[in-house]
Chains A and B, each alone.
Chain A
């Protein structure tokens, strides 16, 4: 299985901040990476696929980059609705695997 390592596991930020989350794959996954946002009691939401492509309807404040084994998710101008837990997911090969998650909390 491909191991996905995400950092940090949590962070505190203020409204208006820019935050960056990193995801590292244990082997080359090309650009087969997605970012998922999870909030308690709500259906998880896919934000980005193919490492850098926004899903339909996702605001451009979210951006993704990277390829191979190193990836980042950046959220610009953090708003209250962005406080959530974010996961990376590789779909280069099955079983699909996830990073451990990054909880973005209000400072």
Chain B
């Protein structure tokens, strides 16, 4: 059974870069079956799909974030990464790492990132 665990700073200053890592166990991010991605949820709001990466390195991003986001994968460590540049308070949210197969079929527990000075 796949497990996903997000990690990274819980507090980021405005205009700086948000960086998160997702450690995947029980499955390989090199698998050709799945995409691996990120979703976020601001407090009291809905879910926003950020983007995803495939084993061949192809990425898809939400157009609303495309200019600021990068998703990458380290196959040797079986880890996924998210970078979001030039953050503002609007980027404060719980960030989830996900596996995609017929939708987001597996999720991490999520990690809260607050953007504040």
Contacts and interface: CB of A to CB of B under 8 A. Distances in A.
Contact of B100 (A91, A95, A101): A91
Contacts of B64: 95
B103 A46 contact: yes
A89 B103 CA distance: 7
Given A34-B102, A45-B107, A49-B105, A100 B46 contact: yes
B77 to A, nearest CB: 21
Given A87-B47, A96-B49, A98-B47, A43 B104 contact: no
A61 interface: no
A98 B60 CA distance: 17
A49 B46 contact: no
A97 interface: yes
A44 interface: yes
B14 interface: no
B23 interface: no
A36 B60 CA distance: 21
Main secondary structure of the interface of A (DSSP, over half): loop
Contact of A95 (B62, B102, B109, B110): B62
Interface residues on B, range: 20 to 34
Interface residues of A, number: 26
Contacts of A34: 102-105
Interface string B96-117: 1000101111111110000000
Contacts of B109: 41-43
B95 to A, nearest CB: 12
A95 B61 CA distance: 7
Given A87-B47, A95-B49, A96-B49, A43 B103 contact: no
A22 interface: no
Interface of A: 1, 32-34, 36, 41-46, 49-50, 53, 55, 87, 89, 91, 94-101
